[in-house]
A = this chain, B = another copy of it.
Amino acid sequence: MKKSFFPTYSRRLFSAFVVPLLCIVSHTRAQSVVHYADPLIGSEGGGHVFVGACLPFGMVKLGPDMVGHSNSGYRSDSPIEGLSHTHVSGTGGGAKYGNISVMPASGSIDLTDYTSGWNNEKNTPGYFSVQLDKPKVQAELTATHSVGFHRYTFEGNSGHILIEAGHFLFTGSEYGHGPFGEAQQLVGSEIKVLSNTQAEGYVRVRGGWNYGEAYTVYFYAQLNQPASAVGTWKGTEKHAGNRLEYDTGEKTGAWFSFSALKQKQVMVKVGISFVSTNKAKANLQKEINHWDFDKIKTKAEVTWNDALSRIIIEGKKSLKTIFYTGLYHSMLMPVDRTGENPLWKSDKAYYDDYYAIWDTFRTTNPLLLLIMQDRHIAMLESLLDIYKHEGYMPDARSGNSNGRTQGGSNCDILFAEAFLKELEGLDYQLALEAMLKNAEVPPGGNEQQAGRGGLRDYNSIGYVSYDFERSGSRTMEYANCDYAIATLAEGLGKKQIAETYYSKSSNWKNLWRDDYEDRDTKGFIYPRLANGDWIPEYDFMEYGYWPVKFYEGRSWNYSFYVPHDVRALVDRSGGKDLFLKRLDTFFAEGLYDVGNEPDFLTPAWYSYVGEYPQTAQRTHAIMKDNFTTMRDGLPGNDDSGAMSSWYIFHAMGFYPVAGQDVYLVTSPLITHAVMDIGPDKKLEIEVKNASAKNMYVTSMTINGEVWEKAWFQHKDIAQGGKITFTMGSKPSDWGKSIVPPSNSDRQ
């Protein structure tokens, strides 16, 4: 049964492809899906996705940086100033990275402006190209894990290649706290021209959204043909013929000039390292020992296809495009920097750019857990290793620095979920220790760096008081994180700890103000003073980021945020009818924010009161209305794939309740899917009667068993097998009788 669908599927896909992609299908499993992924979706609007070339979780993310900068480097509305090697994807706040930039130039080198207009950009997984107009050059980029490969095809016979060691993205100085805001600050840079075809150097930068300490990106660059002249610069001073600019805290760069190009294609390979220039060179030599750009480009495509084909779906082309683009965007970060940790030596994997777990724990991580266990285990190991060496697991981390924690200590949720889903090979005892540190040792003045701010209150009076910013949202998240601690502790046989934390997971109730009314709805999470008084009347619709009562949301949003005990939440909201009314008001009044993480789960809350059809209806509409194949096709920051993964799950018809072993059935858009969920384990999803208007699951089986619940557990599908959804155009009674579990069920 499991295998029968496969040849058919395989044939169908193959017929859609022509010769060039045949080489990609190097083993029997891989299907050609890579061409569906369009990295430019989400590049405009609020998506902030990375545009450029990289491998899955690759250290090098080589892409264009436009004048004015942005979080991803890319902007559609301004000239290109360089093509740099390190980026993040989908983030908000101040920009990070944008290091070691390469740019073609012509004529006399003008350090005050070597930007270029551009057009006709193309981006596929592992490949980016763009036509520059000053000089007229086609710029093409591809990458291996640690190496950026540039191919510049000059129209003229002469030109230069500029390498700006000191480049970095600069946005965010206007917001955040401290004298530098959230902007990156240069610490120093260095460049050394080793020969007329080689250079090495580094840039050292601090700051950015996470207020990170200094990180250093080292490089070693190699050109395919010798320059006729070289020179260097520091600041705005050019030094023709010079070959070294050592670090005096300035921006530095070097040029390689070609008076008569032997080949029109000037190629540059740039090895990157966070350890040293020699390590960068070793990385280059190990990963690319030739000048065959197309070979590397193809290899990157194959690698991406291999990763993306962990899920093979059927459905409309636009669906596939959104789906595989989302999958692609879910595999950009965190970055695998094993062997590149300049902070300590370890036999564990090292991942950086958790940016942020506050986002990804909800969707990206459950997705990777499902389809890439080895990767996910390695990431979780790296989090424990960070704890071991730095004292706290991160809630966000970038540039080798923890920071900054937006709310809860959401690593807690990752480990509880991994345990419940029986991920093997992790040191769960150590995880519990690290989680208890989060829950019990206040990070004090470093509360944006790690742990839980306002813990003094939370652990003494049961909520974060108004003495601390983000007191409302923090309390809600801490309660959910405490539930994660309780479940892991229980699983490890630590009953006392489990009871303590199950009890603390009800702390959200301490901020529930029964008598507060808004929009005919009564009972809300409400900020409270340390003495127990509610805070004086305030603008209930206030919305903001750091110095607020609720982070990236309002009381309305967080008054739904009790994923571990929706039953209790329903009770507190006045029972099923009032809860449904609350949900309806929430959506009707535009208080729901599809593009932001705190609301990710809310559209599925209907299922917890036995109204699965409304869950289906809501989630179906959200997918249809907010995700497109356009460049602004994402409804909010992609946040390291958190937004994209939200779609991927829902499109497959189920959605994880992070930290639990529960998936809620929603409304599949696909007609069929096969997922690799482990060695020799495949999960097939068949959607019967699929059509645009058939948005309701009306019956379902798992491995042949008739399934009456609009939810299932990871263990129900952990060994693979088949889920069959049968769809209908009208709500039915299916899925209404047994609601998903809540902590209150335990009592």
What is the interface of chain A, defined by CB distance below 8 A to chain B? 179, 185-188, 190, 192, 202, 204, 206, 213-214, 216, 244, 246-249, 275-276, 278-279, 281-282, 339, 341-345, 388-389, 391-392, 437, 441-447, 450-451, 455-456
Contacts and interface: CB of A to CB of B under 8 A. Distances in A.
A344 B185 contact: yes
A186 B281 CA distance: 22
A445 B344 contact: no
Greatest chain B CB density within 10 A among A206, A278, A282 is at A278
Given A392-B445, A443-B445, A206 B281 contact: no
A399 to B, nearest CB: 12
A478 B527 CA distance: 33
A202 B275 CA distance: 11
B344 A206 contact: yes
B279 A185 contact: no
Contact of A275 (B244, B247, B456): B247
Contacts of A246: 276, 278-279, 281-282
25 contacts: A185-B344, A187-B344, A188-B275, A188-B342, A188-B345, A190-B278, A192-B278, A204-B342, A206-B343, A206-B389, A214-B342, A214-B343, A214-B344, A244-B278, A246-B276, A247-B276, A247-B279, A248-B339, A391-B445, A392-B445, A442-B444, A444-B444, A444-B445, A444-B451, A444-B455
A100 to B, nearest CB: 15
Given A186-B345, A441-B445, 6 more contacts: A179-B388, A246-B279, A248-B279, A248-B339, A249-B345, A445-B446
Greatest chain B CB density within 10 A among A187, A278, A445 is at A445
Nearest to A249: B345
Contacts of A248: 279, 339
Contacts of A204: 342
A450 to B, nearest CB: 8
A402 B100 CA distance: 30
Nearest 4 A/B pairs, CB to CB: A444-B444, A246-B278, A442-B444, A441-B445
Contacts of A447: 444
Contacts of A450: 445
A279 B245 CA distance: 9
Given A187-B345, A206-B344, A446 B279 contact: no
Nearest to A448: B391
Contacts of A213: 343
A296 B281 CA distance: 37
Contacts of A441: 444-445
B275 A343 contact: no
Nearest to A444: B444
A285 to B, nearest CB: 10
Majority secondary structure of chain A interface residues (helix, strand, loop or mixed) = mixed
Contacts of A456: 442, 456
A247 to B, nearest CB: 5
Contact of A391 (B278, B389, B442, B446): B446
Nearest to A347: B249
Nearest to A401: B213
A179 B389 CA distance: 9
Nearest to A341: B187
Contacts of A185: 344-345
A700 B658 CA distance: 78
Contacts of A437: 445
Contact of A446 (B186, B206, B339, B446): B446
A655 to B, nearest CB: 35
A215 to B, nearest CB: 10
Contacts of A192: 278
A578 to B, nearest CB: 40
B202 A276 contact: yes
Contacts of A244: 278
Contacts of A388: 179
Nearest to A438: B445
A345 B179 CA distance: 13
Contacts of A187: 341-345
Contacts of A445: 391-392, 437, 441-444, 446, 450-451
Nearest to A452: B444
Contacts of A216: 342
A341 B187 CA distance: 9
A186 B343 CA distance: 10
Nearest to A453: B444
A579 to B, nearest CB: 38
Contacts of A247: 275-276, 278-279
Contacts of A389: 206
Greatest chain B CB density within 10 A among A185, A186, A188, A450 is at A188
A276 B391 contact: no
Nearest to A275: B247
A392 B248 CA distance: 26
Contacts of A278: 190, 192, 244, 246-247
A276 B190 contact: yes
A258 to B, nearest CB: 26
A392 B281 CA distance: 38
A118 to B, nearest CB: 32
A408 to B, nearest CB: 16
A471 to B, nearest CB: 17
Contacts of A282: 246
A276 B248 CA distance: 10
A183 to B, nearest CB: 13
Nearest to A343: B214
Nearest to A445: B441
A495 B388 CA distance: 45
Contacts of A190: 276, 278-279
Nearest to A250: B345
Nearest to A244: B278
